[in-house]
Structure 1
Amino acid sequence: MFKALVLEQEEKATLAHVRELDETSLPEGDVLVEVDYSSLNYKDGLAITGKGRIVRQFPMVPGIDLAGKVTESGDSRYQPGDQVVLTGWGVGENHWGGMAGKARLKADWLVPLPGNLDGKKAMMVGTAGLTAMLCVQALVDAGVKPEDGEIVVTGASGGVGSTAVTLLAKMGYQVVAATGRGEQNYDLLKALGASRIISRSELEEPARPLEKQVWAGAVDTVGSKVLAKLLAQTKYNGAVSACGLAGGFDLPTTVMPFILRNVKLLGVDSVMCPFEKRQQAWAKLADLLPETFYQQACQEVELDQVPEYARQIIRGQVTGRVVIKL
């Protein structure tokens, strides 16, 4: 028997309860994993609160991330005792996810945990950190160099943003953190490596087709008018990695930044990211993130605390990462 957070639907309302389950209740899969840690992401918050149409089949165990130890395997790539990490692939949405003591999963979804990461640290990184690494790598691949100027990160107090700030600073970039959370988060962002901090409101005014060239590049988690503003302010031959839509999925911009300044808009997805790219990203995360990141940007909770934290993350009241100890 093991504990799991189970989502059920009653009269179109989503209810979350901690239940005792056994292995026979788990869905099909090649590999059985004993879960050590999961994490709470914005998408998990939407699923648990029912605020977004994330889950369409009930009952469902949420948790789009997990880290743990293989206990049974029908795939030669994994053996009992192997430490693994999983993010994405629809787990926690249409296949039972990480907020349970055990999970049965497809081997193709798993990545061997780098030797210099344990399960807790992997979940401090999680989908948010993987997405941040993919965004940063996209800027590097687009030719954006530290000497080109400042890189702005929007939603910098959140999971993706705080990790992106840390990674960029570690790689020698000048990082500007844009946040709407207020000055109470400024000390944390500076500790993570931000050279300066601006209010998100500075990026929320409607953008002209082209504005003063400010940014060598950007990592954007907000979308909508903030992304339009960034594109209008990006320097010639700069690039913007876009991975989020917290501010909306529209994009009120023009083609002017693309055809007059050679600006590149780089879409970044971590859910269906192929294995080789995931493995490379996890290896880089393990190497680049300093010990101070794990000390400052995370908090640990128990399974029965998750529904309340899910409500908080939807209200924008969670800074950094929340890891769940199973």
Structure 2
Amino acid sequence: MFSAILITEDGSPRAQVTRLDEADLPDGDVRVDVEYSTLNYKDALAITGASPVVRAWPMVPGIDLAGTVAESAHPDWKEGDRVVLNGWGAGESHWGGLAQKARVNGDWLVPLPAVFGSRQAMAIGTAGYTASLCVAALLDRGVRPGEGEVLVTGATGGVGGVAIALLARAGFTVAASTGKAAEAGYLRRLGADTVVDAAGLAGPGRPLQKERWAGVVDTLGSRTLANACAQTRRDGAVAACGLAQGMDFPASVAPFILRGVSLLGIDSVSAPRARRTAAWDRLARDLDPDALDAMTEEIALGEAVAAAGRFLERRVRGRIVVDVNR
């Protein structure tokens, strides 16, 4: 038997910590003893029922997990291997990581870098791994330190915080956009050089605006993404990975055909293992452990259901790590 958060549907979703049997686990060729998971915005939507992200019932939420392989029929993994899972429909269509045990497809796993413990890996989680993909995309497009500021929107979130830390470590001048003025000191400690009021990016804007950003990591979508593109300098690039403000994109083609701006979509859910491994290698090499600690809060599994509501109220800063064994 093991403990897990289980979401059931009887008219409306209901989430609670319960005891399950290993026989209840879904199909998969690797069983993992989970040590830590995370609480993300998508997990909060699933737990609260605020958005229909769950596609199968009942569901164990948790888009991330880190732990040790307990049993494997997959050629790449053996008992005792340290592994991480991010995305792949975990917590949506396949039971996820907010449980003490998981059974998953071995193709979804990547090795846990030796420099990280499982708690640190979950302090990074999908958010940090996505941030690493964004930084890699900007560098691959040719954005380099010294060419101008790089804007990070939604800067107090998990993706934003890790993106700031990685960009600063790579030598970029970073502008952090937030609507939380009180968090300016926190963002500067992560590596931001300037803090920008998010309100200036959130409203309607002209198709082309004053050139400012050499690159952008955008976690919000909607008008913020449109304005970020309109303010990006000639031959700059925008890595788009989120939709916290909305799925719409009220923009024109002007930045792309008149300034050569590139809009780079970042798919962290279904990225191939080679890209995932490269992203984790960058995190292992470049992420300052002190910056990681500064953005991390730890809770117990039994606290996760109540904590989910904080995401919807925008009362979360950085990362929430869940110790599933307490």
User: How far does residue 113 in structure 1 lie from its aligned partner after superposition?
Assistant: 0.6
Identify the residue that residue 157 of structure 1 maps to in structure 2.
156
Question: Residue 295 of structure 1 corresponds to which residue in structure 2?
Answer: 293
**1:194 partner amino acid:** A
Match in the other structure for 2:59: 60
SS in structure 2 at match of 1:126: helix
- State the 1:319 CA deviation: 0.2
**1:321 Cα deviation (Å)?**
0.2
More displaced 10-residue stretch of structure 1: 144-153 or 50-59: 50-59
Q: Is residue 162–residue 292 contact of structure 2 (8 Å, CA) maintained in 1?
A: no
* Correspondent of 1:269 among 267, 270, 289: 267
Structure 1: 4+ residue segments shifted above 4 A? none
For the 8 Å contact 2:221–2:248, the answer to whether it is kept is yes
User: What SS class does the counterpart of residue 216 from structure 1 fall into?
Assistant: strand
Aligned mates of 2:293, 2:226 — CA distance in 1 = 34
Where does residue 139 of structure 1 map in the other structure?
Answer: 138
In 1, Cα distance between the equivalents of 2:219 and 2:45? 16
Amino acid at match of 2:9: Q
2:127 equivalent in structure 1: 128
- Distance (whole Å) between structure 1 residues aligned to residue 256 and residue 181 of structure 2: 34
> 2:75 & 2:244 partners in 1: Cα distance?
40
Give me the TM-score of the superposition, normalised by structure 2: 0.98
Structure 2 match to 1:114: 113
TM-score norm. by structure 1 comes to 0.98
Residue type of the alignment partner of 1:49: T
Letter of the 2:240 partner, please give it.
A
**Among the aligned pairs, what percent are the same residue?**
51
What CA distance in whole angstroms lies between the structure 2 residues aligned with 1:8 and 1:82? 32
CA RMSD of aligned residues (A): 0.8
CA distance in 2, matches of 1:291, 1:55: 33
How far apart, CA to CA, are the structure 1 residues paired with 2:63 and 2:312? 16
Q: Please report how far the alpha carbon of residue 205 of structure 1 lies from its aligned counterpart in structure 2 after TM superposition.
A: 2.7
Q: CA deviation at 1:294?
A: 2.4
Q: Distance in 2 between the 1:218 and 1:76 partners?
A: 39
* Paired residues, number: 324
Structure 2 CA distance for aligned equivalents of residues 96 and 271 of structure 1: 15
Unaligned stretches of 5+ in structure 1? none
Kindly provide the CA deviation profile for residues 3-49 of structure 1, in whole angstroms up to 9, marking residues without a partner as x. 000001122x2111111112111011100100000001100010000
**1:113-156 deviation per Cα after TM superposition (whole angstroms, max 9, x unaligned):** 11111100000000000110001111000101111000000000
Question: What is the letter of the counterpart of residue 144 of structure 2?
Answer: K
1:309 aligns with 2:307: yes
Partner of 1:198: 196
Aligned equivalents of 1:204, 1:7: Cα separation in 2: 34
Letter in 1 for 2:306: E
Give the match for residue 9 of structure 1.
9
